[in-house]
């Protein structure tokens, strides 16, 4: 009879998880919250900029049609 072999799989932490762990050790809670809030603001600014560019393209397309129709 063969002895049962137990294989144990452990997942490696992602880079994000590793950085958050380092951040938790290095920074205090308030600094960590401030950094996350700042990053959320950056992402929101990028989203608004993308929306603004898309709106400009739509307005230019509508203006182009209106001027060619007259």
Length of the chain: 70
pTM over 0.75: no
CA distances for 22 relative to 10, 16, 26, 27, 35, angstroms: 20, 10, 6, 8, 14
pLDDT of residue 69: 60
* Domain coordinates in residue numbering, the chain: 16-69
* Residue 57 pLDDT > 90: yes
Q: How confident is the model at residue 15 (pLDDT cuts 50, 70, 90)?
A: confident
Q: Tokens for 45? A: 């600014």
Q: How confident is the model at residue 8 (pLDDT cuts 50, 70, 90)?
A: low
32 contacts 23 by C-beta, under 8 angstroms: yes
């Amino acid at each position: 009879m063969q002895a049962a072999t137990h294989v144990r799989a452990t997942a490696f932490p992602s880079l994000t998880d590793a950085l958050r762990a380092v951040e938790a050790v290095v920074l205090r809670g308030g600094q960590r919250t401030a950094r996350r809030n700042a990053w959320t603001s950056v992402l929101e600014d990028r989203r608004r900029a993308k929306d603004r560019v898309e709106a400009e393209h739509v307005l230019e397309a509508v203006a182009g049609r209106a001027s060619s129709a007259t």
